[in-house]
Structure 1
Amino acid sequence: MKLILLFFLSASCLTQAQNTISFEEGMMSPPATLSDITWLSGHWKGEAFGGIAEEIWSPATSKSMMFSFRLIDKGEISFYEFGHLIEVDGTLLLQLKHFDGNLSGWEEKDENIDFKLVKVEGDKFYFDDFTIEKVSDNEVNMYVEVSEEEGKSNEVTFNYHRQ
């Protein structure tokens, strides 16, 4: 339930699924390195449901780009995410964990959420139901496919600008 809430809170608008792809059984992730996505490094902000969404991505070091995320709503921290984009076996893997505003973890201690790379098209990186797209040097879009309780799914989009 918290994961569904996360994606709805992180998104700024709902759209039909057009920018996400699911990783299917038997698929292989394409070759990729962090040097292919160095443009993501930096401080990004956007609006989400009347609040402020903020992400900070570190430069790539030791085959890892670390990131932090927070959503501020009505002057309060709604939740945080901490994670990294790492090079594994010649491709990229996005991993993250969620935390409440008081830093209580959502996932179990040894658990995280993994997004395997599905494909790369120019400056658009398709992970499993999560896509990162460079719009310009100062703007990125992120798309996430989420499941609703009725079994339906929707793609949510949020837009960031470099700070």
Structure 2
Amino acid sequence: MKKLVVFLLFTTLGFAQNTLNYNDEKGSPKATLQDVKWIVGNWTGEALGGICQETWSEPIGNTMMFNFKLVVDEKVVFYELGHIIEKDKTLLLQLKHFDVDLKGWEKAEVSENFELVKVTPTHAYFDKFTFEKISDNEINLYVVFEESGKEMKFNFKK
């Protein structure tokens, strides 16, 4: 019985973590926007106490741009704007946050940057930020929040 409990605990813990950490010594693997083109689309899901909308554009100009909006009780809480960019033969996810009045949370010259850790046909692992393809019409995003260190799952459908 103890072996079964230990096995279940180990497998549960093993599958609970869906994000990876970037390692400066390893660097980022080679990748192009074609490797993550499956993210393109208009996505909607529920999280953070409201409705989340996220739209990803087709690759053009070495970037895939996105916008994100959180709406709680019919009111916008915040926006994000960003892109995945091809840079130095790999990919980099960059984003900025804005309040309801479009005032930036970060300083004008600063963005949040997430280096690519690993890419597969169904996953794009950036530092503490993972995209997972469930189907052509469903994706999951996993994000580790810096303040708490906890991972949160966002499920989106087209």
Q: What residue number does 1:62 align with?
A: 61
Q: 1:158 matched to which residue of 2?
A: 154
- Answer whether contact 1:130 1:143 (CA < 8 A) is retained: yes
Q: Which has the larger radius of gyration?
A: 2
TM-score (norm 2): 0.87
Which residue does the alignment assign to 2:129?
Answer: 130
Secondary structure of 1:37's aligned partner: helix
Specify the code of the residue in structure 2 equivalent to 1:160: F
Q: Aligned partners of 1:74, 1:24: CA distance in 2, in Å?
A: 40
Q: Deviations over 1:80-132 (max 9, x none)?
A: 00001110011100000000011110000100000000011331010000000
Structure 1 position 119 matched with structure 2 position 123: no
% identical aligned pairs: 50
Q: How does 1:4-153 map to 2 (within 5 A)?
A: 17-148=16-147, 153=149
Amino acid aligned to 1:62: G
Q: Secondary structure, in 3 states, of the residue corresponding to 2:66? A: strand
The letter for the 2-side match of 1:117 is: L
C-alpha contact 2:35 2:119 (8 A) present in aligned 1: no
Unaligned runs of 5+ in 2: 1-14
Work out whether residues 35 and 121 of structure 2, in 8 Å CA contact, stay in contact via their aligned partners in 1. no
Query: Aligned equivalents of 1:144 and 1:101: distance in 2?
Result: 22
Provide structure 1 residue ranges, at least 5 long, that are not aligned to the other structure: 1-15
TM-score, normalized by length of structure 1? 0.84
Give the length in aligned residue pairs.
144
Ranges of 4+ aligned residues in structure 1 off by more than 3 Å: none
Q: Of the two structures, which has the highest relative contact order with CA contacts closer than 8 Å and spacing of 6 or more?
A: 1
Cα drift, residue 17 of structure 1: 4.9
